[in-house]
Amino acid sequence: MCLAVPGRVLGVEERDGTRMATVDFGGVVKEVCLEYLPDLEVGEYAIVHVGFALQRLDEESARRTLELFENLGMLQEEFGDPWEQAAQAGGEDLAREVRR
């Protein structure tokens, strides 16, 4: 599943002519393209989807959404290690087969 996740801008730089940001998503830090929000600044929040900041968001809304995603396990699903997730899914499938 690909979520649009709120994140807080930690740093901004230009890389190869593209404005990029380091963004914190509740403890997970990723690089994000700012082409759609070129005036986004450090400390501001934005909704990010597939590596692009799409819309500004106020801090309270961002925190509530991140908390909800965390409680539902959606942050781990979105940002977790795909190899680990595949192994866990495979383990669940194997466990179902053994029970049959």
Q: Are 18 and 37 in contact (CB under 8 A)?
A: no
Residue 1's pLDDT is 46
pLDDT, tens digit, 9 for 90 and up, residues 15-71: 999 999 999 988 889 999 999 999 999 999 999 999 999 999 999 999 898 888 888
Residue 70's pLDDT is 80
Question: With helix as H, strand as E and coil as C, how does the chain read?
Answer: CCCCEEEEEEEEEEECCEEEEEEEECCEEEEEECCCCCCCCCCCEEEEECCEEEEEECHHHHHHHHHHHHHCCHHHHHHCCHHHHHHHHHHHHHHHHHHC
pLDDT, tens digit, 9 for 90 and up, residues 62-95: 989 888 888 877 766 666 555 665 666 666 554 4
Residue 88's pLDDT is 64
